[in-house]
Structure 1
Amino acid sequence: MEKRRPYKMSERAKSQAETRQKIIEATMHLHEEIGPKNTSISAIAERAGVQRLTVYRHFPDETAVFQACTSHWLSLNPPPDPAGWEQIEDPIAKFRTATGAFYDYYSRTWKMWAVSFRDVSEVPALQQPMADVAAFIDSISRNLIAAFGDKDGKDLLAPTIRHVLHFQTWSNLQDQGLSNEEKLDLVTSWLT
């Protein structure tokens, strides 16, 4: 009986996987540097060191390459995990912990968020990933709002919490020169 050799990825398959990864990373870097709206397939090919046709062999259209880019970027930069504040009972402490996690995240990833929010209305391939981000933030907001129970003034609490968690709020406060700790102090005061 003949022994089967263990499967090893062929050199061609390995090369294709490496080329695909180069294209994804080139797209990711271009998105962060010049924005999705200004990232063409030609620019992606040039940055990846391949021909335009090679990009299309791996990704049939702009949406496919943007989806791969988004997935890769999010794997490198996962959003804050609600497990970090889920067990906190005090609603203000829970809010502050969650908001702090988002503000730290935005501090590390602001370049990509700034161009993504700037370009979302003009880049159809970006609209679904950004809608997914909005849904995630909305779910976090609902959880934080629920922590306050039936507190008086809750009708103003909900829009305040939603506003606080958005990148644009962080960005506006950043433009005013506030540190993340100062931002947290300010937005926490909005709840009290």
Structure 2
Amino acid sequence: MSDQKRPYRMKLRAESEAQTRLRITESAVALHEELGPARTTIGAIADRAGVRRSTVYRHFRDEEELFDACSSHWRADNPPPDVGAWAAIDDPSERTEAALRELYAFYASTRRMYESLLRDEELVPVVRRRLRDFHDYLRSAQDVLMAGRRLRGRAARRTRAAIGHAVAFPTWHSLTQEQQLSEGDAVALMCRLVEEAAGVRDEGRSKKDERATLRPPPS
């Protein structure tokens, strides 16, 4: 009888351990969002999860392993917009508008977490390492929103810079949280910035062309 009960007891123990690990992970995620990783301690995580500090260390060997679990758990609940879906929109202007609408809605729903992470990026090495994926994602967004514009030189650099500014979380935060624009107005403003950057002529070159046009022909 004892041998028959052993697998059942092991199953219950494994389920209990999984639940404890999840509770620790969710507690850490909540504290990272509320306080920021720099001010989140193992003691605070243990208290919120209702376990001992030693239990946290039993499930997670170090800060990086805990942060990886938190990051995976949070991203599963908060997936960013699909950059590949934007690439399917042929017109660059329509593509930019669609991308910014989705991205700004994502920022609105994840504001507190990104405020905490970006504030602590330079303070906590593991946060800086994990945010590389986020910054890579935004660079991919720039590539997709630049595609098909057929720009060169300074116009291309201006436009890529405008797109990079438009997709950045601090830009969204400034426009909607500090300047109190609606998300629709923020999107429209950034779309106009991008299109202006793409359409503005190189003033230096334009003046040079004008001088060449006005110069009298050689006698």
TM-score range, shorter chain: over 0.9
Distance in 1 between residues matched to 2:112 and 2:45, nearest whole Å: 18
**Given residue 42 of structure 1, which amino acid in structure 2 is its aligned partner?**
G
Q: Secondary structure at the match of 1:10?
A: helix
**Count of residues in Structure 1 that have an aligned counterpart in Structure 2:** 187
Q: Displacement of 1:87 after TM fit?
A: 1.5
Q: Deviations over 1:146-188 (max 9, x none)?
A: 2312378222000110111011110111110011100011001
Partner of 2:201: none
Q: Secondary structure at the match of 2:151?
A: coil
Alignment partner of 1:183 out of 183, 186, 189: 186
Q: Displacement of 1:9 after TM fit?
A: 6.7
Q: Deviations over 1:64-86 (max 9, x none)?
A: 11110011000000011124322
Partner of 2:172: 170
Structure 1 gap ranges (5+): 1-5
Alpha-carbon distance change, 10 to 88 in structure 1, aligned in 2, over 3 angstroms: same
Partner of 2:142: 141
TM-score (ref. length: structure 2)? 0.82
Point out 4+ residue stretches in structure 1 off by more than 6 angstroms: 6-9
**Given residue 170 of structure 1, which amino acid in structure 2 is its aligned partner?**
W
Structure possessing the higher radius of gyration over alpha carbons: 2
Partner of 1:55: 56
Partner of 1:126: 127
Partner of 1:105: 106
Q: Secondary structure at the match of 1:177?
A: coil
**Given residue 29 of structure 1, which amino acid in structure 2 is its aligned partner?**
A
Q: Displacement of 1:7 after TM fit?
A: 9.0
Q: Deviations over 1:72-105 (max 9, x none)?
A: 0000000111243221111000011111111000
TM-score (ref. length: structure 1)? 0.93
Distance in 2 between residues matched to 1:58 and 1:177, nearest whole Å: 43
